[in-house]
């Protein structure tokens, strides 16, 4: 990145962070209502529910990344590995950030009855994210993958983002997360993937 472009890029980053904070804050105002009213306990007993959840399953994207790299290698591309590495890297890095935030925030998933936030003490399994909901691991992976796919295959952007949004909605229907869990996850996934693309993807890598 040239010095002349660093200032505008920094301004965009600051605005994006501020927008993300506002969106997460607003979503927290609706957490109680959504947790009470947006439920479908059998969502993952349906084929479409399982499909949407799998969009946020990290091993699926690692497999897709290998397939993309092999595809590019067959085309005798000198950097045949790069697009696959980006597709693997974005959801992986976003997932790591999400897990670290879960451990730091320590907010539990919505209870079966009521909507009050509960937090686990640091003295109770301090380095385990089990049972934490903020942010949603599936949603953060799904949105990071969607951003990369939208950059690699822009003509199908609506498909990638719709699938990521569907994954997030399925987590709400399953009563596995608050609304702010998936909104925060979307912001993190988009931000991590955008940063990775900015610094790791040459211009020609977007050619499908």
Please give the pLDDT value at position 80.
85
The per-residue pLDDT for range 78-102, each reduced to its tens digit, is 778 899 999 999 999 999 999 999 9
Please give the pLDDT value at position 115.
82
Question: Is residue 1 one of the residues assigned to a domain?
Answer: no
Give me the sign of the Cα torsion angle 165, 151, 185, 123: positive
pLDDT at 5 over 60: no
pLDDT at 182 over 60: yes
What integer best gives the mean pLDDT of the chain?
91
Mean pLDDT of 115-140: 94
Find where tokens 């499908």 sit. Answer: 208
Q: CA dist 5 to 8, 16, 105, 137, 203, Å? A: 6, 17, 34, 33, 16
Q: Identify the domain containing residue 170 by its residue range.
A: 7-206
Question: Is residue 61 one of the residues assigned to a domain?
Answer: yes
Question: What is this structure's pTM?
Answer: 0.90
Which has more pLDDT, 11 or 126? 126
pLDDT at 3 over 90: no
Q: Could you please report the per-residue DSSP string of the chain?
A: --HHHHHHHHHHHHHHHHHHHHHHHHHHHTHHHHHHH---TTGGGSHHHHHHHHTT-HHHHHHHHHHHHHHHHHTT-TTTTHHHHHHHHHHHHHHHHHHHHHHHH-BBPPPSS-----B--TTSSTT--TTB-SS-HHHHHHHHHHHHHHHHSGGGHHHHHHHHHHHHHHHHHTT-S-HHHHHHHHHHHHHHHHHHHHHH--GGGG--
Question: Is residue 46 one of the residues assigned to a domain?
Answer: yes
Question: Is residue 2 one of the residues assigned to a domain?
Answer: no
The angle, 0 to 180 degrees and rounded to 10, between the axes of the packed helices 137-152 and 179-200 is 40
User: How many domains does one find in the chain?
Assistant: 1
The per-residue pLDDT for range 26-65, each reduced to its tens digit, is 999 999 999 999 999 899 999 999 999 999 999 999 999 9
Question: Is residue 178 one of the residues assigned to a domain?
Answer: yes
* Cα–Cα–Cα angle for 116, 119, 124, rounded to 5 degrees: 150
CATH number, domain containing residue 61? 1.20.144
Mean pLDDT of 116-138: 94
Please give the pLDDT value at position 12.
83
Report the range out of 14-18, 75-79, 103-107 with the highest average pLDDT: 103-107
pLDDT at 75 over 80: no
Which has more pLDDT, 39 or 204? 39
pLDDT at 2 over 50: no
């Amino acid at each position: 990145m040239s010095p002349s472009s660093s200032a505008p890029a920094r301004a965009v980053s600051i605005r994006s962070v501020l927008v993300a904070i506002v969106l997460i804050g607003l979503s927290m105002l609706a957490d109680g209502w959504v947790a009470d009213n947006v439920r479908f306990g059998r969502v993952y007993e349906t084929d479409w529910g399982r499909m949407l959840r799998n969009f946020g399953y990290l091993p699926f994207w690692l497999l897709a990344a290998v397939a993309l790299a092999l595809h590019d290698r067959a085309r005798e591309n000198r950097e045949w590995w790069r697009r696959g590495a980006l597709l693997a890297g974005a959801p992986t890095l976003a997932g790591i950030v999400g897990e670290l935030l879960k451990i730091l925030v320590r907010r539990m998933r919505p209870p079966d009855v009521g909507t009050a936030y509960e937090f686990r003490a640091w003295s109770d399994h301090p380095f385990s994210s089990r049972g934490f909901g903020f942010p949603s691991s599936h949603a953060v992976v799904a949105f990071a993958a969607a951003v990369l796919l939208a950059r690699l295959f822009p003509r199908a952007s609506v498909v990638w983002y719709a699938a990521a949004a569907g994954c997030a909605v399925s987590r709400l229907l399953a009563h596995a997360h608050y609304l702010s869990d998936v909104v925060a996850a979307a912001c993190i996934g988009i931000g991590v993937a955008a940063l990775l693309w900015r610094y790791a993807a040459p211009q020609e890598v977007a050619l499908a």
